[in-house]
Amino acid sequence: KNEVEQSPQNLTAQEGEFITINCSYSVGISALHWLQQHPGGGIVSLFMLSSGKKKHGRLIATINIQEKHSSLHITASHPRDSAVYICAVPSYGQNFVFGPGTRLSVLP
Amino acid sequence: SAVISQKPSRDICQRGTSLTIQCQVDSQVTMMFWYRQQPGQSLTLIATANQGSEATYESGFVIDKFPISRPNLTFSTLTVSNMSPEDSSIYLCSVQGHRSGANVLTFGAGSRLTVL
């Protein structure tokens, strides 16, 4: 079973700061997902990536398949970025293993 | 990607009662997934719901406690039965699509359940 770790567990930043959230996993995968969970509980898929780097607005996700590691970066952070960020990797069948999440608070 | 309507968004329930959560998808999907997220924890898969057959439950979850219905390819319900305070969690349904050879995850908005 894939083990997924994230760091940091909690992160507080000032508006405008550059933020990095890390995810590491134990078993090789085909693709990794980054998810955003808002305080109300809803989850939104941010990225699905299998190699290299993807960018969407102020969000950048990178993955190193050989090192089993992915990072999520937020440039020019804003209070509306405050959420829990979760990485997920495929498991058996169509199941996923979810990381414990990184709780981000961006202060104005 | 698919859009999922989930309800209720939140509820406060008394111990011993049951609550049914509904998920409606705007497209036909073969499998729907039900997750539980206990306070401060990550997501745990409860069961996979297939249309026309019984749901497949993960270890630690049983049909008597979490009965699931899947009457068609766009709808599913999860019931949390005989609730106790330990059932206080966020419950989410999810579907998976395919894009560029990999699975794309879509979640409902979640149902935040508090059991008194």
Is the pLDDT assigned to residue B83 strictly greater than 70? yes
In whole angstroms, give the CA distance from residue B9 to residue A34. Answer: 23
Chain-chain contact of B33 with A43 (C-beta, under 8 angstroms): no
pLDDT for B101 equals 56
Q: What chain A residue is nearest to B58 in terms of C-alpha separation?
A: A95
Strand A102-107 vs strand A10-14: parallel, antiparallel, or unpaired?
Answer: parallel
Give pLDDT, residue A18.
Answer: 98
User: How far, CA to CA in Å, does A73 sit from each of A58, A61, B32, B106?
Assistant: 8, 6, 31, 22
Name the E strands within chain A. Answer: 4-7, 10-14, 19-25, 32-37, 43-49, 52-56, 59-64, 69-74, 83-90, 96-98, 102-107
Average pLDDT of chain B is 92
| More confident site: A5 or A91 | A5
Beta-carbon count within 10 A of A16 CB = 11
A93 and chain B in contact, CB less than 8 A = yes
Q: What is the dihedral of CA B93, B99, B101, B102, to 10 degrees?
A: -30
pLDDT for residue A97 is more than 80: yes
Identify the H or E element spanning A68. none
* pLDDT at residue B30, as a whole number: 87
pLDDT tens across A32-58, in order? 999 999 887 789 999 998 889 999 999
A57 inside 8 A of chain B by CB: no
Unique residue bearing structure tokens 């997924």 = A4
Q: Does A45 contact B106 at a Cβ distance shorter than 8 Å?
A: yes
Task: Choose the closest CB to B96 out of A35, A94, A98.
Answer: A94
Phi-psi region of B9 (alpha: psi -120 to 50; beta: other; left: phi over 0): alpha
Question: CB burial class (10 A; 0-12, 13-18, 19+) of residue B3?
Answer: exposed
pLDDT attached to residue A1:
75
